[in-house]
Each structure stands twice: as C-alpha cells, then as structure tokens.
Amino acid sequence: MIPPFAYTRVTSVKEAVAALAAPGARPSAGGTDLLGCARDDVFAVKTIVSLGRIEALRGIGDTADGGLRVGALTTIAEIAGHAAVRERYRALAEAAASVASPQLRNQGTLGGNLCQRPRCWFYRGGYDCARKGGDTCYAVTGDNRYHCLFGGSTCLIVHPSDTATALSALGATIAIAGPRGERAVPIEDFFVLPEADVTKENVLGPGELVTEVRLPAAAPGTRTTYRKVRTRGAWDFALAALAASLRVEAGRVRDARLVLGAAAPVPWRVREAEKALVGQKLDAKAIQRAAEAAVRGASPLDHNGYKVPMFRGLVEEVLTAMS
C-alpha cells in the first residue's frame, strides 16, 4: 500500500519549482519508479508534484550549434524511435531501446530515467542501509552479485540508468531549474559517488529538477554505440553495459569515449582504455589493450567477479564490431 500523499499538477517549470519547495514534495514524470519507491517505503512522499502538463519539457529539437535538445519529459520510446537521435546519436537510441519493456518505455521519461533510484535489493528491500541514512552497506557481506566493481565505498550500488551511460559517452549536458534559477551541468559532474554523498545519486539540490538534456554536435567521423548484457532478452537491468564513441580519421582513432554501465555507482568512464586507443589503428592489438585497461583497478566483491571478464569481453566485442 502506498501511504497517503497529496497530489498537485503544475503547468510550468516555475510552478514546479515553487511546489517542490514543500517538505516531502517529489516530482513525478511517468511515475514508473516514483510510485514503486513510495509503495516500498524506499523514501517518504508527502506531495507528488506531477510534471506531466509542462509542455516546455517535452520533445526533441535541434539546437543553434548543431546539437540536439531532449526535453526531460520526452518518453524513452520517443527517443528510441526518433530519426535524428538514431542517425546522429546512435548510442542513445540503442540505450533507450534497451530500457525495460515497451510499456515502461512508453510511460517512462528521460528525466525520470536519469533520476530513478538504484535497484540494490537491500536499498529497495526495507533495509536501513547507508543510502537511507543508516550506517551499513549490506552488500559488503551480503549477496552482491549485481553490485559495483568500481567507485564503491560506503555503498556498493550500480547506477541503473541505460540512458545515463550513453549520454556520458556522448558528452551531454544536463539543464537544471531550481529555487536559485537555472544551471547547466556536464553529465560527468551530474552523478555523484557515495564518497561525495551516499544518500543521493546526483547533484540535484532541494527543489531542483532536470529540464532538458543537451547533446553537442557530433564531430564528423564519429560513430557511437551502446551494448547491454542482461540475464534475459526481455526487460532487465544491465549486468554490464558499454557506451562507446569513436572518431576515426585516416584510419586512426582521434577521439574515444568509453563508459561502462552497471559497473559503478555512476556511469564509469574508463580513460585508460580510451588512451590505449587514441592515435592507434583500431586493430586487434589496440582493442585488447583497451579491454585490459577498462577493467584495471576493478575491485570484485564475493559474488560479482564474473563481471570482470564480462566487461573485458564487452569492450573487445564492441570495439571489434566498430573496427
């Protein structure tokens, strides 16, 4: 049962920011994660502020500098099927297409996908864990088969969002509105590690909401892709994922961005693997070096050691397909 809550609909970002100032107020976009969290007592909700009628937050359009803006209320299905996204930002289209089920993609939005809460079964399962303000991460000694290899400290979650991983490889910027006005944050600074704040996954402060995601113009010669490994082909969160963006000129890699998903509490950029590629031909030797570099420094837990060869293989497979 969901405990009783107040419900308010707003029609502008200004109204949303004002409504979110109330204690215990939370924004709702598609509601596919929020309502589950409220039902399972993951967090308390006093007022649901429905963003659904804010037209300004919808849609996909070109920006003056040749990039693309995607409104926070744009559905995951719309993103997966949008011609410009598929053509210019393939990794995002592929990531969106891999999210959950058709029903969830039709209802779930980009803003909600980026701000959804982690799927750790201790966090979701009624444990008073570190992320909920307790003093223990139960995944340290418990069943940690789906937990992180990198970036864990006081909490061992992995970030659940497929689109976040793809957008990180694409160098997106997150536009935010709040009580102190608007700001734009590079996606690499949007998500936060437990060591910075174990109770939240991103930099949003009280009363702030994501308004849109901005993608920079794709440089000529850039190709991007997203590949997700999951337990089953129907809806499922990633066991391991990779978003790759490569710019190849005259047979050599000039620019590379490789981001692992389901590896860390944030989308995990593997810069050493990128360095192993830049300036090289995309041949088997360079690919193998990048794959080794991608998992260097991993700290497997008792039950998730399988992820190390899985990520290594994923990097090898994706780069080989791009070569």
Ligand X SMILES: Cc1cc2nc3c(=O)[nH]c(=O)nc-3n(C[C@H](O)[C@H](O)[C@H](O)COP(=O)(O)OP(=O)(O)OC[C@H]3O[C@@H](n4cnc5c(N)ncnc54)[C@H](O)[C@@H]3O)c2cc1C
Q: How far is the CB of 221 from ligand X (least distance, A)?
A: 29
Question: What is the H or E stretch that residue 260 is in?
Answer: strand 252-261
Q: Chain-centre distance of CA 31, in angstroms?
A: 17
Give 28's strand partners.
50
Question: How far apart are the C-alpha atoms of 196 and 309, rounded to whole Å?
Answer: 29
Residues between 233 and 262 that touch ligand X (CB under 6 A): 235-237
Quick one: which of 17, 25, 26, 226 contacts ligand X (CB under 6 A)? Answer: 26
Judged on CB neighbours under 10 Å (0-12, 13-18, 19+), 297 is exposed
Please state the closest distance from residue 279 (CB atom) to ligand X, in A: 34
Residue 111 within binding range of ligand X, rule CB under 6 A: yes
Q: Going edge to edge, which strands form the sheet with 222-229? A: 222-229, 240-249, 252-261, 268-269
Candidate list 29, 68, 85, 139; residue touching ligand X; CB under 6 A: 29
Question: Residue 279: left if φ>0, alpha if ψ -120 to 50, beta else—which one?
Answer: left
19 versus 293: smaller Cβ distance to ligand X: 19
Residue 167: partners with Cβ closer than 8 Å, 6 or more residues away = 92, 114, 187, 213, 215, 267
Contact 128, 95 (CB under 8 A): no
Q: For residues 30 and 151, which CB has a smaller minimum distance to ligand X in the complex?
A: 30
The answer to whether 105 and 86 are in contact (CB under 8 A) is no
Q: Binding to ligand X by residue 33, rule CB under 6 A?
A: yes
- Site map for ligand X, 151-190, x if CB under 6 A? ---------xxx----------------------------
Instruction: Work out which of 85, 99, 239, 244 binds ligand X, going by CB under 6 A.
Output: 99
Closest CA to 165 of 223, 96, 62, 74: 96
Q: Count of residues binding ligand X (CB under 6 A)?
A: 32
112 is a site residue for ligand X (CB under 6 A) = yes
Closest by CA position to 146, among listed 164, 132, 161, 160: 160
Give ∠ CA 152-234-34 in degrees, rounded to 5: 55
Closest to ligand X by CB, 107 vs 154, is 107
Instruction: For residue 287, state whether it binds ligand X (rule: CB under 6 A).
Output: no
In terms of CB distance, is 32 or 245 closer to ligand X? 32
Q: Work out whether 123 is an interface residue with ligand X (CB under 6 A).
A: no
Q: Which is nearer to ligand X, 164 or 253 (CB)?
A: 164
User: In the complex, which residue's CB is closest to ligand X?
Assistant: 112
Asked whether position 100 contacts ligand X by CB under 6 A, the answer is yes
CB of 51 to ligand X, least distance (A): 6
Interacting residues with ligand X (CB under 6 A): 26-34, 72, 76, 99-100, 104, 107-109, 111-113, 115-117, 160-162, 204, 209-210, 235-237
